[in-house]
Amino acid sequence: MDYQETLTYLFNQVPMFQRIGGAAYKEGLDNTLTLDEHFGHPHQKFRTIHVAGTNGKGSVSHTLAAVLQSAGYKTGLYTSPHLVDFRERIRMNGTPISQEYVMQFVEQERSFFEPLRPSFFELATAMAFKYFADQQIDVAIIEVGLGGRLDCTNIIMPDLSIITNISLDHIQFLGDTLAKIASEKAGIIKPGVPVVIGETTPETKPVFLAKAEKVDAPIFFAEENDREDYPGVEYELKGIYQEKNKRTLFTALPLLKEAGYHIDEETVRQGFAHVVELTGLMGRWQKLHDNPTLVCDTGHNVGGMLYVTEQLKQQDCHELHIIIGMVNDKDISGVLALLPKEAKYYFTQASVSRALPAKQLYELATQAGLEGEAYPNVKSAVEAAMQKSLPEDFIFVGGSNFIVADLLESKVFLD
């Protein structure tokens, strides 16, 4: 099989949450532990930092990787979902895993994993851990896939755990209250391992405190950290929400130093200023076009869209155009209620089966007082917005990781 055939096999052979949603979710760590034993416990061969949270964990993970790369560490980075290519999920010093490694892994190991029937994420995690061990990396930043307690990344014993924030997302798996979701994410708090909490609410803070106390883990709340160790640091990632991520990172860095990491001020400034170049991060308030300005963002739930809509209100432009699509298991009405009424809307759908049909989104949006038209795919929606925009207009594309993925893959913004 060549690379594309290997991906087709992977996407079809094992259930993939990114494409089909809940049917791909496998609760429990049995498969993960079986795979881990088969590969000789590769995650024990390098240091790790574990990052969970509803929003912000991708930005925090990439920034930590950028800082550690700048400090000279051979750094692995495991994140999800991917936007354009599967290989984005598994990186070493910013470079994606090779096509050859992915092909060889599947070819050599399929006789073992086929009878096991792991989920896509279980298999991808096993591949990542084996790859990092084979590459003899120093440290890996491991982003939780879903939740924490039962997530297959949760077999690691990290130097530091980070939980960025909690908002209502994936409630069908994690619980329908902030406290229940916090309890699942608190599952990554390990005995004696320091944990940084980025944001709390009156419902979530007691959950984190109780779990940390139970396992004797030192706990640090970024909201209570008023230290400014790096005044005037230039952060390449723009967007209002990055201020909270920055505070979370500033709380984490001294703890990494205490754990023996050699990180100096110049290293931190270098990492923060060059996150995209060093790690390949995409889709975080990413500017893709000028005149008109076109920006995309992967914020896809009420918690994430709160910050996106606040940012949209601050744009100094002639007219605001919003291209939006969502998947069918999100709080659609909650997101629509946040969006600015005065914008011109282009309702569309991503090329995944979980996508909410554009016509359905259009109908729900019309009921919410938003005006616009429906388009069958992201490319046609962006083309329409570009044609209808003046140079001084602002176009935003988002609502889902998959909308941003289709945008980046279409390259329509380059026309």
Residues spanned by the domain of 389:
286-414
Distances (CA, A) of 204 to 94, 207, 216, 325, 342: 34, 5, 18, 30, 35
**Structure confidence by residue, pLDDT tens digits, 363-372:** 999 999 999 9
Residue 136, phi-psi category: left (phi > 0), alpha (psi -120 to 50), beta (remainder) = left
Looking at the fold, whether 186 and 262 belong to one and the same domain comes out as yes
3-state secondary structure at position 170:
coil
Dihedral angle of Cα 332, 81, 120, 197, to the nearest 10 degrees: -90
pLDDT at 228: 82
pLDDT at 15: 61
pLDDT of residue 17 exceeding 50: no
Looking at the fold, whether 22 and 57 belong to one and the same domain comes out as yes
pLDDT of residue 175 exceeding 90: no
- Please, where are the H alpha helices in 71-191? 99-116, 120-134, 171-174, 178-185
Looking at the fold, whether 387 and 369 belong to one and the same domain comes out as yes
- Name which of 296, 276, 303, 282 is nearest 350 in CA terms: 296
pLDDT at 173: 56
Looking at the fold, whether 222 and 253 belong to one and the same domain comes out as yes
Task: Look at residues 227, 251, 279 and tell me which one is the last residue of a structural domain.
Answer: 279
- Biggest alpha carbon–alpha carbon distance for the chain: 59
**Cα 288 to Cα 284: distance, rounded to the nearest angstrom:** 11
Q: CA 34, 12, 100 angle in degrees (round to 5)? A: 75
**Cα 404 to Cα 288: distance, rounded to the nearest angstrom:** 11
Looking at the fold, whether 271 and 298 belong to one and the same domain comes out as no
Number of domains within the chain: 2
Radius of gyration of the CA atoms of the chain, in A: 21
Query: How many H helices and E strands in the chain?
Result: 17, 14
**Other CB atoms within 10 A of residue 377 CB:** 18
**Cα 369 to Cα 366: distance, rounded to the nearest angstrom:** 5
Percentage of residues of the chain with pLDDT beyond 90 = 80
Sign of CA dihedral 296, 19, 348, 342: negative
pLDDT at 24: 43
pLDDT of residue 206 exceeding 50: yes
At 123, the amino acid letter reads: L
3-state secondary structure at position 372:
strand
pLDDT of residue 41 exceeding 80: yes
CB 303 within 8 A of CB 169: yes
Question: In sequence order, which residues have a C-beta less than 8 Å from that of residue 70 and are 6 or more positions away?
Answer: 267, 268, 270, 271, 274, 278
Residue 375: pLDDT band (50, 70, 90) is very high
pLDDT at 22: 46
Looking at the fold, whether 145 and 23 belong to one and the same domain comes out as yes
pLDDT at 18: 46
Task: Look at residues 254, 279, 304 and tell me which one is the last residue of a structural domain.
Answer: 279
Query: What CATH number has the domain bearing residue 181?
Result: 3.40.1190.10
**Structure confidence by residue, pLDDT tens digits, 274-330:** 999 999 999 999 999 999 999 999 987 888 888 899 999 999 999 999 999 999 877
**Cα 172 to Cα 174: distance, rounded to the nearest angstrom:** 6
Residue 16: pLDDT band (50, 70, 90) is low
Looking at the fold, whether 273 and 321 belong to one and the same domain comes out as no
Query: What CATH number has the domain bearing residue 366?
Result: 3.90.190.20
Percentage of residues of the chain with pLDDT beyond 70 = 95
Looking at the fold, whether 269 and 334 belong to one and the same domain comes out as no
Task: Look at residues 279, 304, 335 and tell me which one is the last residue of a structural domain.
Answer: 279
What single DSSP character describes residue 97?
P
pLDDT of residue 172 exceeding 60: no
**Structure confidence by residue, pLDDT tens digits, 75-131:** 999 999 899 999 999 999 999 999 999 999 999 999 999 999 888 899 999 999 999
* Token pair listed for 225: 């950290």
Looking at the fold, whether 292 and 274 belong to one and the same domain comes out as no
Looking at the fold, whether 13 and 150 belong to one and the same domain comes out as yes
Looking at the fold, whether 335 and 270 belong to one and the same domain comes out as no
**Structure confidence by residue, pLDDT tens digits, 219-250:** 999 999 988 889 999 999 988 889 999 999 99
3-state secondary structure at position 315:
coil
| Residue whose pair of structure tokens reads 């990492």 in the numeric block | 271
Q: CA 10, 15, 17 angle in degrees (round to 5)? A: 110
Looking at the fold, whether 203 and 152 belong to one and the same domain comes out as yes
